[in-house]
Amino acid sequence: MAGRDTLLDIQVVTKTYFPERKAPLTALHDLSFSVANGEFLSLVGPSGCGKSTFIKLTCGLLPPTSGQILLNGQPITEPIKDVGIAFQAPILLEWRTVLQNVLLPIEILEGKIQPHHREHATRLLALVGLNGFADAYPRELSGGMQQRVSICRALVHDPYFLLMDEPFGALDSITRDRMGRELLRIWEQSGKTIIFITHNIAEAVFLSDRVVVLTARPGTVREIVTIEAPRPRDPGQTAFRAVERHIHDLIGEDEAVEEGAR
């Protein structure tokens, strides 16, 4: 994006799996796009288009078969610690308090929690509206509150970017809408880069600077849609619905082709 440095550069990335006694399976093919520092970028596409594989490649958990992913100009060749991850389920440890759950990455990465780590974690909890819940346990929180704890945990070690894999998929529609607005507020205040994986097209349009639309497997970039509408966005507006419909049509074309090939 204009005026922003490139944080991640995905350069002609292909990932093929070679399972034993089975035919090779290419999940991603010649995937290329960049992510700007401070950008909110979403990925959408048909089921099985390689979004989960993309997550593993971007974290350095899997190597690409060909191509490369650059983080700040350097190839990702091993698991990286400078990424925060939030999944569809909060995955909180039930025997740990909210604050202890948030501080878990610090324990893993640094081995010892310092006073400034606790102060930072407490500030993050305040940022997401969880003042007074530091000593609570996950079972005492609603689903939306638990997801906010998981976002704090993803941010506590000050990562370069936040990778979110359908983080609101298990929430009811009202809570999902509230969490989307909350995430935008956190993004605006933290300045972090967010890569957001979702099946919900309206959610992607509401949240994102750009939406990367992937093709059916093997996934590659079908189109990158820039969302021009200023925030806060109104899903009822004609322009919003037009962009949503355009992305839906792009995905629908691939799903139709895939269905016809069966």
Q: Average pLDDT, whole number, for the chain?
A: 89
Q: What is the pLDDT of residues 235-252, one digit of tens each?
A: 999 999 999 999 999 998
Q: Residue 257's pLDDT is what?
A: 46
| pLDDT surpassing 90 at residue 38 | yes
Reduced to 3 states, what is the DSSP secondary structure of residue 192? Answer: coil
pTM as predicted = 0.87
**3-class DSSP assignment, residue 231:** coil
Residue 63: cis peptide before it, omega within 30 degrees of 0: no
What stretches of 51-199 adopt beta strand conformation (E)?
66-71, 74-75, 83-86, 161-165, 193-197
* Domains of the chain and CATH, by start: 6-82+160-260 (3.40.50.300), 89-158 (no CATH)
Confidence tier at 110 by pLDDT (50, 70, 90):
confident
- Rounded Cα gap, residues 41 and 258, in angstroms: 26
Instruction: Please write the tens of the pLDDT for every residue from 167-223.
Output: 888 778 887 888 888 889 889 988 899 999 999 999 999 999 999 999 999 999 999
The SS3 call for residue 56 is helix
Q: Is 122 left (phi over 0), alpha (psi -120 to 50) or beta?
A: alpha
pLDDT tens-digit series, residues 134-150: 999 999 999 889 988 99
What pLDDT is recorded for position 261? 39
Give the rounded distance of the alpha carbon of 210 from its chain centre.
13
**Predicted confidence band at 255 (pLDDT cuts at 50, 70, 90)?**
low
253 — pLDDT class (breaks 50, 70, 90):
low
Neighbours of 5 (CB within 10 A): 10
How far apart are the C-alpha atoms of 161 and 83, rounded to whole Å?
5
* CB-based contact 216:26 (threshold 8 Å): no
CA distance linking residue 63 with residue 59, whole number of Å: 10
